[in-house]
Amino acid sequence: MILNGFTSREHLCHQNEVSPNFLVVCCLFPACLVFLFHLSGEKSRYSSIEQGEDTGALAEMTPVIAIEGVQKRYGKTQALRNVSLEIHAGEVFGLLGPNGAGKTTLLHILVGIEEASDGKILIFDAPPSDLARRSSIGFLPEMFSSYEFLTVEETVQTYAEFFSAPGHSLKSRIEELLRRLGLWEHRKKKLSECSKGMVRKVGIAASLVHSPSLWILDEPTIGLDPESSAVLKEIIQGNRRNGGTVLLSSHILSEVEKICSRVAILHHGEVLRIGLLTELLEFPESVHLLIQDGSTALLQFLSEIAIKSLTEPDGRMHYWIPESEQKKCLAEITRDETAKLLLCEPYHITLEEFFLKTVK
């Protein structure tokens, strides 16, 4: 039967000769909806995704996720090795690592799709198996799937119903999300008619429709164009300002650097580094100099002092020197009649540089 223009879950079950519980699992196949199985418990916040005032939740440093000594084994393969970390309320936390590092495995354990072999995990002071807590979690898997005969709008509403989302808020919430993600004009399209990027945005809307307190995203920008990626970044930042907590894994390190406050780097199942970006990216106080031309003596002098150096194909030379040596180097460059100083600025290491150095 059709209710309010949408196909009901009972109708879907009848059409496909499956039980409602089986539909919950299949609709989120392969990973997305398993953790929603038999949802019950507390309702989630219904707050706007627009920019709002900072709630100050981060200052309270309330643990939302506590992971202690977690290990995961698949036969003889050790996927996670003694992983321990905490994520606090109001944080945007980045989980980084090369392919096969264990990022997706850890996320699957957090949302209850898989179980840890050893260790302890608490989410909102309860284990991942506590079904009452799952309605406070939104999860976007790396590969989002749902029934292709459902429309964009029907898919997002079906997810909302799994979370027992309030009916009086549901219609406006769905419209808000679909408009923000550029899907409103396509809301009557079946998923089978949507591009991969559009399906990805449907997954984002479905994971966010119940305004979860904790939003977990696995490679969220896969398949998104630059404009959609920028919108997602705005939504993540707005979610944080409204008091939400975000945990995301990504290979787009330049984007992680812009939106995350803390990160952890996984490699071969182990946490190599964890901390505030401002602390991890600290570099010995240094200055970046860009030089064109210069005598052999000057270039030799700069090379001996520099922390590192790089020569461009056009002959221009980059030198990163200790800040304490800046006056001496500038004096030598000024005295050299052939040298041209093109740039002189404080230097900060990028997250990509830090990541590559860490996992070597």
Instruction: List pLDDT tens digits, range 230-248.
Output: 999 999 999 888 889 999 9
At residue 36, does pLDDT exceed 90? no
The pair phi, psi for residue 249, each rounded to 5°, is -110, 145
Tokens of 177: 């999300």
Q: Which two tokens stand for residue 50?
A: 């627009």
Lowest mean pLDDT among 113-117, 159-163, 196-200, 220-224: 159-163
Mode of pairing for the β-strands spanning 317-322 and 286-292: antiparallel
* Of the candidates 262, 247, 243, the residue with the CA atom closest to the CA atom of residue 53: 243
**pLDDT per residue over 86-139, tens digit each?**
999 999 999 999 999 999 999 999 999 999 999 999 999 999 888 778 789 999
Rounded Cα gap, residues 201 and 197, in angstroms: 6
**Rounded mean pLDDT, 191-201:** 94
Where do the domains of the chain lie, and which CATH numbers do they carry? Answer: 2-280 (3.40.50.300), 286-359 (3.30.70)
**What rounded mean pLDDT belongs to the chain?**
82
Q: How far is CA 153 from CA 169, 221, 357, in A?
A: 15, 21, 45
Helix (H, G, I), strand (E, B) or coil at 247: strand
Tens-digit pLDDT profile for residues 342-360: 999 888 788 988 899 898 8
